[in-house]
Chains A and B, each alone.
Chain A
Amino acid sequence: MKSLVMFGMLAFASVVHAEPSAQRIYGGVGMDTTVLGRLGYEHRLATLSPRLSLSIPAEVQLPLLRPGGGDGELRAGLRTDLVLGRFLLGSTLMPFARITSNDIHRAVGVGADLELDPGVTFSRGSFGLELGLNRSVADHLHHTDAYRKETYMDVVDGWYEGSSATLRAGIRTAVRLGGAEWRLRAGKQSGQVPFYFELGAAISF
């Protein structure tokens, strides 16, 4: 809740001190629960001070094993970047909506992902840690006729308490080559697939 208040204040401040924006598109492929592709866009709203900037990231995540199967996730939120000399501290809050469709149900889940990224910069890149919490708030489940017929006729459709929470901790590194920034992130997380990694790139303009 404190995070939400903080981001609200920063958003208000951005209206007051809006400056010419910087934009970035980013993407990556890796493993996070499943084989995953990610494509995002980030718009810097404002530089609140020489040390602190505020951005709006939005991204889509799609499982790549079998794309087009009615599965995916959309995230959009706020990001702050605090720079103290060579040290960086990024923090991101991204509410999400995710969907799936399979043999037993169609589902929509909503929740939020909170991440802190402390790190240091080098002449051609950066290195740091990432600590994250991904928490589902609620899931809407609508069961298929097949599930009702073959397994449980009286299954209850509707909104359920969020049942998924994942803590993650890992490292991230980025190197600028050519016009792009190449990124690698990897770490451990709670859940049935206890690790994640991603190789990606970002282009700023």
Chain B
Amino acid sequence: MKVISIVLSSLLFVTACELADPGEAGNLVPRTVTEDSSLPALDLAGTRLHVETFGSPSNPALIFLHGGPGGDYRSLLRLRGQPGEPRLEDDYFLVFWDQRGTGLSQRHDAADINIDVYLSDLDAIIAKFSPDRPPALIGHSWGGMYATAYLNQYPERVAAAVLLEPGPLTGALYSELKSEIIHLDFWSEWLSDLLWDQRFLSPDDHARMDYAPLVARKNVQPGYHLSQTDPAPLWRLGAVAQTAILASGAKDGVWAWNFVTNTRSFSRPVNLVASSDNEVLGLAFQTRQAEFFDHPTISVVTDAGHDFPWTAPDQTIALIRQTLDQAGYGVGASR
């Protein structure tokens, strides 16, 4: 009876309290650009994107494409370089943006998000920030896949591409690696936590859908060797966008995307950068993916896992500069 009394007392107590709304942005997850007008934003192509630029718009543009799908650009910001040292933005016009439906960008229904829409968004970003010359694309993980999809479709619109450990560029490669990309260890604590947490939060709106999967974020990909001591940050997951992009690459339940049907038409420099520690998307895998390009460079960032743009920014910046140098792109080469 004592236990029942305690539980009933708790029920009475909480019903008397003013309860916060878990679906209200700002409580569990930050507000997006449609909910917070103080955030840097750009209305483009029927959406409002979270966008920040650094450096002079007169310099050659570097367009950054974050990972995920469903991630955001916060984990790429160290690629600006260290304060007090020569920075990329001294020589280039850096464009960071959260892709449609993710990070702090506007949320959309799944029906409004697919690969074609994403390609149109990138086209609009390029037209806005680099209207007079093709930019260089710097894409990490999913962002590397996204960059490849774009240059595959519009090879003449890209000056150079630095693909920072891109995920599988074809659905067939994804199918091959799927169990290693998302490693479902039945006895793992993260899986238990993720499932049990569903008893607390049901994914009824964007805020809760973006919040709930974060329970497992750091542990779901052990083969990637993400840093546990200096974990890459994230503003806000885009759960609907993540699902929608993956679904748009599937046909009849089979992963069917192919971002490399025309990559050999791309004659500008491409650098596929691998991390030394990633057991899934590392050097061996990127060497396979390099075969999709005519004259690729393959580089390795040492002592780092898949989050190397965050944990090893200096090495990454040096490789970006090297590729831009090779492309003869901009004034910042050969530092």
Contact = CB atoms under 8 A, between A and B. Distances in A.
Interface of A: 33-34, 56, 58, 63, 65-66, 69, 71, 73-74, 76-77, 95-98, 100, 102-104, 107, 109-112, 136-141, 146-147, 149-152, 154-156, 158-161, 163-165, 191-193
Given A65-B187, A147-B214, A71 B198 contact: no
Given A95-B8, A137-B11, A165-B202, A33 B3 contact: no
A160 B199 contact: no
Interface string B186-210: 1111111101111111111000100
A91 to B, nearest CB: 16
Contacts of A33: 195-196, 198-199
A74 B202 contact: no
B30 interface: yes
19 contacts: A33-B196, A34-B198, A58-B3, A65-B192, A69-B193, A96-B7, A100-B197, A103-B214, A107-B197, A107-B200, A109-B200, A139-B22, A147-B214, A154-B30, A161-B19, A161-B21, A161-B22, A163-B201, A163-B204
Contacts of B231: 146, 150
B178 interface: no
Contacts of A58: 3-4
Contacts, number: 156
A76 B6 CA distance: 10
Contacts of A69: 189, 192-193
A164 B200 contact: yes
Given A163-B208, A191-B198, A155 B28 contact: yes
B89 to A, nearest CB: 24
Given A147-B214, A160-B27, 13 more contacts: A74-B7, A100-B196, A137-B11, A139-B201, A141-B28, A150-B232, A150-B233, A151-B234, A151-B235, A155-B27, A155-B28, A159-B18, A163-B208
B4 A95 contact: yes
Contacts of B192: 34, 63, 65-66, 69, 71
Nearest to A151: B234
Interface string B129-170: 000000000000000000000000000000000000000000
Contacts of A193: 195, 198
Interface in B1-46: 1, 3-4, 6-8, 10-11, 14-15, 17-23, 26-30
A34 B195 contact: yes
B215 interface: yes
B61 to A, nearest CB: 29
A191 B234 CA distance: 27
Contacts of A63: 192, 195-196
A137 B14 CA distance: 8
A160 B204 CA distance: 14
Contacts of A102: 190, 193, 197, 215
Interface of B: 1, 3-4, 6-8, 10-11, 14-15, 17-23, 26-30, 186-193, 195-204, 208, 211, 214-219, 231-236
A102 B212 CA distance: 11
Nearest to B233: A150
A150 B217 CA distance: 11
Nearest to A153: B30
A103 B7 contact: no
> Interface centre among B4, B14, B17, B20, by most A CB within 10 Å?
B14
A111 B4 CA distance: 12
Contacts of B6: 97
A34 B187 CA distance: 11
A111 B3 CA distance: 14
B188 A66 contact: yes
A152 B193 contact: no
A112 B8 CA distance: 10
Nearest to B205: A163
B193 A137 contact: no
Contacts of A140: 14
Nearest to B189: A66
Contacts of A34: 192, 195-196, 198
B196 A71 contact: yes
Nearest to A62: B196
> Interface centre among B3, B195, B214, by most A CB within 10 Å?
B195
Nearest to A75: B7
B50 to A, nearest CB: 15
A100 to B, nearest CB: 6
A73 B198 CA distance: 13
